Amino acid sequence: MNKLKNAVIVSVGRCGSHWVESIMIDLLGGIGRSNNNVQLMPHGWVLHTHDIDYLLRYPREIREETMLISCYRENKFDQSISYLVAQKTNEWFVYSDKQIAPFTIDPSEFEAVLVGVAGENEDYRQLSTLWPNFVEIKYEDLVNSEIPEKHVAACVGMEYKKTQGRAQHIAKKNPRDYQKLILNWDELVAISKKYVA
């Protein structure tokens, strides 16, 4: 069982990192107090960031006593679409049931996001060589798990116990059907196929 009580959660974005952060806070004992984006708990702390340069500068002593949880999404097409839909609807973590009129995504903007997401994901992977306590959590496994809290606990080597439920207010996956929402869906799929190996 993992004895580390400090965790840094990192991701490119649209990979469930905010969800993992809230689950980790629950697993480590519930809501603490916040200090400069660090959640302080009675026996540790949790930091959530998207800033790889910040993590590259962490002192070795802290890296050795801290778990780095890297959240990633295997499907870069879905990740890119998720980002562009969140940008258009302004619904990033909590989803409403408001009606959204179907819309078109600029193909060049989609392609730029897709290329950027793939490159950024590779940048984050270099952290695994610097952090001895490096863990990856794949979004697709998280969102499809029966009990997400239990999945995260298993990934980080912690004993699962029923949590305080703080993670419940963070929506898991946008419930909208993107194929119906995005008018030029087929065009975006065709663009993405240029980048699939």
At 8 the pLDDT is 95
Report pTM. Answer: 0.88
CA–CA distance from 183 to each of 95, 109, 114 (Å)? Answer: 21, 15, 18
- Count how many domains the chain has: 1
Give me the half-sphere count of Cα atoms (radius 13 Å) on the Cβ side of residue 54: 10
The answer to whether residue 78 sits within a structural domain is yes
Residue 169 has pLDDT above 50, yes or no: no
Contacts of 108 (CB under 8 A, 6+ apart): none
Range of the domain at 161: 6-193
Could you read off the pLDDT of 17-58 as tens digits, one per residue?
988 998 888 888 776 667 777 888 877 899 999 888 889 888
Could you read off the pLDDT of 85-116 as tens digits, one per residue?
999 999 988 888 889 999 999 999 999 999 98
At 57 the pLDDT is 87
The answer to whether residue 1 sits within a structural domain is no
